[in-house]
Amino acid sequence: MKFVMSDTPLAIIILAAGMGTRMKSDKPKVLHEVAGKPMINWVLDSALKLKPQKIITVIGPDMPALKKAVAPHETVIQKDRNGTGGAVKCALNALKDFKGDVVILLGDCPLITSKTLKGLIKARSEDLLTELSVLSMELEEPKGYGRLITNKDGYVTAIIEEKDAKAKEKAINLVNAGAFCVNSEKLSSWIGKIDSDNAQNEYYLTDIVKIASKEGVNCASFVCKTPSELKGCNSRADLAEIESIFQDNTRNSFMAAGVTMLEPNSVHFHHDTKIAQDCIIEPNVFFGPAVKLEKGVHIKAYSYLEDCIIRSEATIGPFARIRPGTDIGSDARIGNFVEIKKSKIGKGSKIGHLAYVGDTIMGEDVNFSAGAITVNYDGFQKHQTIIGKNVMVGSNVNLVAPVAIDDGAFIAAGSTITEDVPADALSIARDVAEVRQGWAAKYRKLKAAALAKKKRSKAS
Ligand code: UD1
Ligand code: CA
């Protein structure tokens, strides 16, 4: 379905002043994150796609972090948290000079898409008498949501909140998903008429429907066919459910785009994870912020990646940790128990096992053996290691930064390197082994004799 945007000017109000008491948290509810992005920013991003003239977020007093999260967009403060209707009233001042459609969104409904909102906006202008539309969904278990009362023509005549609903109303499956599109002038007039005569003594935004209906104005219901995107967050359990909806959708879209996942449910994505075609993701992989996998990358089980780019055909893991600021070249092989931080690894290089590479620029086709590490921190500052191409770093090497190893050099196993190494040289920095012929045999004989003597004296 494709919607043509109407020419009516658009403003958006996002309600986010609620205390979110059911979250049991010191931070405002809408700052809790889904896939690493605060809920309010999910809503804001969908709102921005509608290209509105203005976005006003209603916040509570003492919510500077929330104000910052929506900046540079405007915020208004709702001092008295007296309900969603009261919240919209606070925003109206900032919309005094605006004429057009106002879309009202809930800050705690993060997965709502701009496509759905376009449907809601279109439903508002359905016919001349439709001055508002409500976003709705049909739920098998409607508990907790406002129920929609409709007339024989399918228009909504009232919304009844769960706490005010009688048994018969509670049985209605068509519910208020929380978004409205309203003509701005009508909105001001209706908001002024709301009272708080209900079970929660709150000013319900949802009452504008009843008021409109009494004035003979039609309220259209735009039924969203994908209710999972409209899941509202009132508790930590809801937050976990929303997270899992996002994760499921993301898994499905990556698979549809040609990514193989051996056990999709065990892979966790960030909202901005990018994975190209023909990548293979083994079980139990975690993607932190800003990870990009180019084509054909293979991430083996139990790997943890953050803020990095893995170039085509590279292999990571199992049990690898790729930390922020890392760029792994094409065809590189990063194996088990390897940690890489803020480093660039050249094409085809191999860091196969048990290694730490930090603040390093490594060329192509380097072999960085087991137990080798860069010593990048002196207790005060970080220092850089530069490794050319075709370098062979032996096992258990310490490269004490700042240090540079030029192309083709060999670093002997067990060396602690504190000086730069020229191209094609061998650097060896360890004690020469002393070999004592026959020592072990003599030692064993002496030990055995001593033990036998001890045993004899015990027996006597
Ligand atoms: C609301 C709707 C309900 C709908 C449901 C969908 C009302 C009266 N009820 O219920 O019909 O089915 O959402 O998820 O509108 N807020 C303020 N100021 C306030 C109170 C709330 O800004 O004084 C904000 C909250 O921060 C939140 C949003 O409004 O982001 C919704 O408030 P909430 O208390 O969660 O409403 P619900 O009970 O979920
Ligand atoms: Ca809610």
Find the angle CA(351)-CA(357)-CA(359) to the nearest 5 degrees: 140
Q: Is 28 in the pocket of ligand 1 (CB under 6 A)?
A: no
pLDDT per residue over 267-308, tens digit each?
Answer: 999 999 999 999 999 999 999 999 999 999 999 999 999 999
Give the whole-angstrom CA distance, residue 377 versus residue 382. 5
29 Cα nearest atom in ligand 1: 26
Which candidate, 158, 128, 159, 132, places its Cα nearest to that of 146? 159
pLDDT at 393: 98
pLDDT at 6: 66
Residue 414 C-beta-side C-alpha neighbours within 13 Å: 4
Token representation of residue 72 = 């540079």
Choose one of 19, 39, 56, 84 to mutate for the ligand 1 pocket test, by most ligand atoms within 8 angstroms of C-beta.
Answer: 84
86 Cα nearest atom in ligand 1: 23
Q: How far apart are the first and last CA of the chain?
A: 99
37's enclosing H/E stretch is strand 37-38
Protein residue closest via CA to atom 21 of ligand 1: 18
* Residues whose CB falls within 8 Å of the CB of residue 160, separated by 6 or more in sequence, listed in order: 146, 147, 149, 169
pLDDT per residue over 127-136, tens digit each?
Answer: 778 899 999 9
How long is the chain? 460
Catalytic residues: 353
pLDDT in tens, the chain (460 residues): 445 556 899 999 999 998 789 999 999 999 999 999 999 999 999 999 999 999 999 999 999 999 999 999 999 999 999 999 999 999 999 999 999 999 999 999 999 999 999 999 999 988 778 899 999 999 999 999 999 999 999 999 999 999 999 999 999 999 999 999 999 999 999 999 999 999 999 999 999 999 999 999 999 999 999 999 999 999 999 999 999 999 999 999 999 999 999 999 999 999 999 999 999 999 999 999 999 999 999 999 999 999 999 999 999 999 999 999 999 999 999 999 999 999 999 999 999 999 999 999 999 999 999 999 999 999 999 999 999 999 999 999 999 999 999 999 999 999 999 999 999 999 999 998 899 999 999 999 999 999 999 999 998 8
Token representation of residue 223 = 């039924």
Q: Is the peptide bond before 72 cis (omega within 30 degrees of 0)?
A: yes
Q: How far is the CA of 144 from the centre of ligand 2 (A)?
A: 9
Q: How far is the CA of 29 from the centre of ligand 2 (A)?
A: 10
Q: Is 56 in the pocket of ligand 1 (CB under 6 A)?
A: no
pLDDT at 365: 98
Pinpoint the residues of the chain covered by CATH 2.160.10.10. Answer: 237-427
Q: How far is the CA of 109 from the centre of ligand 1 (A)?
A: 10
Q: Which residues of 218-240 are buried (b: 16+ CB within 10 A; e: fewer)?
A: bbbbbbbeeeebbbbbeeeebbe
pLDDT at 1: 46
pLDDT at 204: 97
pLDDT at 276: 98
pLDDT at 289: 98
Pinpoint the residues of the chain covered by CATH 3.90.550.10. Answer: 10-230
145 Cα nearest atom in ligand 1: 12
Q: How far is the CA of 130 from the centre of ligand 1 (A)?
A: 24
3-state secondary structure of 287: strand
Closest listed ligand to the CA of 238: 2
Which candidate, 21, 18, 39, 17, places its Cα nearest to that of 235? 21
Q: Does domain 237-427 correspond to CATH entry 2.160.10.10?
A: yes
Q: Which fold, 10-230?
A: Spore Coat Polysaccharide Biosynthesis Protein SpsA; Chain A (3.90.550)
Give the whole-angstrom CA distance, residue 385 versus residue 356. 12
